[in-house]
Each structure stands twice: as structure tokens, then as C-alpha cells.
Amino acid sequence: MNIFTKFPYIVVEGPIGSGKTTLAKMLADKFPVDYLSETAESNPFLPRIYQDAQRYGLPTQLFFLFQRANQVKDLSQRDMFAKPVIADFFLEKDPIFARLNLDDEEYALYHQIYQHLQLKAPKPDLVIYLQTPIDALVERVEARNVSYEQEIPREYLERLANAYSEFFHNYDASPVLIVNNEKLNILKNDSSFDLLLNRIMQIKGQREFFNPNFE
């Protein structure tokens, strides 16, 4: 069962703590694909934004934007017979964070740059959106034990989760599988990963839902 035969370019998305990077890595380990990661830890401004968003919001967002634009540019220039791709980000979600972290003037500048760069972004064959309740996000962020993430206020995570839900409510550029991620623990339960793979193979429409029940 190779989901990449059906969907050669898959993106996993979701807010901080949703498990998007974990899932993307597991898919990259299981299948012969190229793994494209946002490598958030390489952004020197990121640890500071949760201490002083007003000062570090714009450089944080621009660093990520140019980093992702370069990665997406490389992706768009790939040979059509190259290996499939799994990514734990896509360029279209960048404005979610920008709108939360920037004031109106900064966002206007950011949006001008983003609009130019977005033209080069290939569309995923499938987006897996990990929709995660706020309590689970808070718990998972704490469990990750990344020092600067411990300073993220619950209110910020709530706003972020709501922004993601609104974004994917309107997103229709690629097929989307919206996964209820509350009980789907792919790290602790091997059957969860297999269930997700099976569900992906069953996708036929532009927007579908996966609500696993383990009770």
C-alpha cells in the first residue's frame, strides 16, 4: 500500500503540537520519498518571538517565508520522474502566523512579498490537516519540552488553532483530509498509523474527514 502512488506530493499541516512533523517523518521512513521539512529550529528569531512578538514578529516571519520559498522553488524545478515528496509545511499557511504575529503595517509589507513568492509554489496532491483540540495541543507542547515553546500562552494556541480551522474551512486548492487528531496517537499506537494509511487510500473527494474512534 503506497499512498504516494496515488498522491506523489503530500503535505502534513496543523498548529504547533499537532504532530505534523512526527507524521511526516514516519511517512518518510516508511516510503521511498524525499522529506521536505520547515526546520523551525534553524530560525534564529523564533525563540524570541514568544518573549517579544512586537519586536521579533516580522524578522521571524520573513525568515520562514524566504526559507520555505527557496524549498518550494527547488520542488517546482524537480524532474517529473523524481521521487515523491512528503512535507511538513506548505507556503499557503504562512499568512496564518503572519496575521497573528504582525501589526497591520508589517502584515501589509509581508503580504506583498508573500504574494510574489506564492506564484512559484506547486500545489500538493493531498493535504493532511491534523485538527487538534486546544487541550491536546497544550499537553503535547508541554510534553515536547522545547524550552522556548513553554512560554507560548494558551490563548495564543487557541487563536492559532482557530485560524487553522478557518483557513482549511475555505481551502480548496488541493484535496484535503481533515483528521480528528484528539485520539490518533501514532507514536504510542501502531494501529493508528495503519488506520490513517488505509483512510488515505480510500480518498475519492476533494474534502474528506477521518474521525477515528478507539473506544
* Beta-carbon contacts of residue 38 (< 8 Å; ≥ 6 apart): 64, 67, 68, 71, 88, 89
Fold of 3-210: Rossmann fold (3.40.50)
- Per residue in 34-91, pLDDT (tens digit) is 999 888 888 999 888 888 888 999 999 999 998 888 887 777 777 655 789 999 988 8
Q: What's the rounded Cα separation, in Å, for the pair 38 and 17? A: 15
Q: What is the mean pLDDT of the chain?
A: 88
Q: What's the rounded Cα separation, in Å, for the pair 5 and 2? A: 6
Share of the chain above pLDDT 90, in %: 56
The full DSSP string for the chain is: --HHHH-SEEEEE-STTS-HHHHHHHHHHHSS-EEE---GGG-TTHHHHTT-HHHHHHHHHHHHHHHHHHHHHHHHTS-TTSPPEEES--GGGHHHHHHHHS-HHHHHHHHHHHHHHHTTPPPPSEEEEEE--HHHHHHHHHHHT-GGGGG--HHHHHHHHHHHHHHHHH--SS-EEEEE-SS--TTT-HHHHHHHHHHHHT--SSEEEE-----
Q: Is the pLDDT of residue 215 over 60?
A: no
Measured in residues, the chain has a length of 215
Strand-pair partners of 12: 128
Q: Is the pLDDT of residue 140 over 60?
A: yes
Tell me the backbone φ, ψ of residue 114, rounded to 5 degrees. Answer: -60, -45
- Per residue in 18-31, pLDDT (tens digit) is 989 999 999 999 99
Bigger pLDDT: 51 or 171? 171
The set of cell numbers assigned to 161 is 488553532
Share of the chain above pLDDT 70, in %: 95
